[in-house]
Structure 1
Amino acid sequence: MIKKSRGYYKSKIGRWGYRFLHSVTKPGSLLFYVIGLIVVVGLVLSRSIRSRLYQPEYLIKKVLFTTGSIAQYNDIELFDQIIQIYSGSYYSTTRIGGTTSNMVEKLLSEKPYVSSIDVSSFSQNTLIVDVSFSSPLLRFRYNDKYYGIYQDKTALLLSTGDLLGQDKPLILLPLYLSGTSESISGVLYNISAEKLLYDYLLLQTSPIQGSLTYIPGGEKYIIWNPNQRVYLNAKKDIAQQLLLLYTLKNNYNGFENLKQIDVGSLVNPIIK
């Protein structure tokens, strides 16, 4: 690296400018002491603020939740995770960019049914947290467990009375489904949540009503009740398949006695 000479700087700022700059910044000058004082005051204030933020009265010793949070969805495991995040930390770290704030953001990304985790109040070493939840687009039931579908994510839901989204569409998964983890994310491999919801709403107009099962991999729907089963192809136009089913109902004698009807081909229905 080439070191610049004094002459270089003199040529850039002028002789008088150079003399002034040199005189005010050299040790013993007024500006030198002013700059030093500013630095010292800044360090003292920073240390003072930091010491105040980390006083014992700001230490979080207890974490409680608002009544609304618990009433909406009493997920004990989730609440325990939140308690572990906040307990033993200082109130200042709950702010945006703080250590616990970052941990909360990570938890939100892992729990699609949690829409927000907010600090409601803090007093006497006790933090009050408000947790808000969001309902899924629809639900799956597999092996007596319920899963919420949130866009491209799935989440295992509680099977208790405060189950999220009880009024949302429910689609069954076959009991023989293999390779299914608790996230059941693989179910959405070839179909989107929006497509499932759209098809579900269309199938509510079917002349044969019953429970709806979706078969991943085979991309089939089955509408079934104790008397009849209807098979539909999820890859093809559901409205056209329903039209074929209505045509069969209106023109086939003994339609109500049929046990199985497959309209997935859109051409020749298979009846038994």
Structure 2
Amino acid sequence: MAQLYLQDKLPLLAWGDAGYVYKVTDYIILKRSITENDPRTKNENSVFDLLERHPTCPDIVRSFLRLPDSNFMQLLPGGTLEARLQARQTRDPETWRVIKVEGEEPRHLIARWMAELSNGAAWLESLCFAHGDIRPPNLLLDSDDHLKLADFDNTARIGEEVDVGTAPYARLLGTEAGEDRGRFGFLGARTEQFAIGSVYYYLTRGYEPYDNEWYGKDHGPVTVDMLQRMEFPATQMGSEDDAIIRKCWHGEFGSLEELAASLRLLDRKASRAKPMAADLFRARQGECRKLVADGLLRF
């Protein structure tokens, strides 16, 4: 009933198994849980509570106001990185394999996005947390084409076990992990850099790892097995981009800050996003509080 009520009042932007996203104004969205007391919403809200106790990272989306089943957040008009990249793709209607990519993203944007993504992940690492679900649907673009890390449903402390992963942004451990073989392992620099490496590959090719191939009706399970065996897609020797991708896939960066430092060297234009001004943040927060007081969520 609550969701039907909100759909009568606000435009629906997106939905998933955890909840709905509504447009409130041109700069505010509302993320609303499907069920009451959803642990994923509770977890994300607690992460934003933590972030607000520290200096602002410009590469992480802002939350203005949180309630038990709701989160008023920054609207980023550029949409998701996933939608941006998929718009360039032509797929085989039967296999869904990518058969053509129209054009490519500018080199300076790829460098900027990777620097911003790794910086956001490194910032979480500095607080002893890992995002846990880095992939293009959870990466948002603002009106100036700056990338921000979003969706903290699966964020947890470094060292906690990964429950579920999404290939090709997570990898089941292979024989190298001994008794941990067949598990995703524990959150940390290894899991996060693997996901970042796959995002980097997507940006430089226009398709995900293996998405330009077709291994039959079991394509998905086959690629999961290939990842586990470390049979990664071919990369180019001598390419600065691919050297970092390979290191990410093999877990060779000791920390996300080390990865971020390497990626900042490739971002030669160094066009960094600026944090939202404190007075603007307070104004947005005040708007959200007034909307709640005026009965936006009442039904």
TM bucket (normalised to shorter chain) is: under 0.3
**Higher RCO by CA contacts (8 Å cutoff, separation 6 or greater):** 2
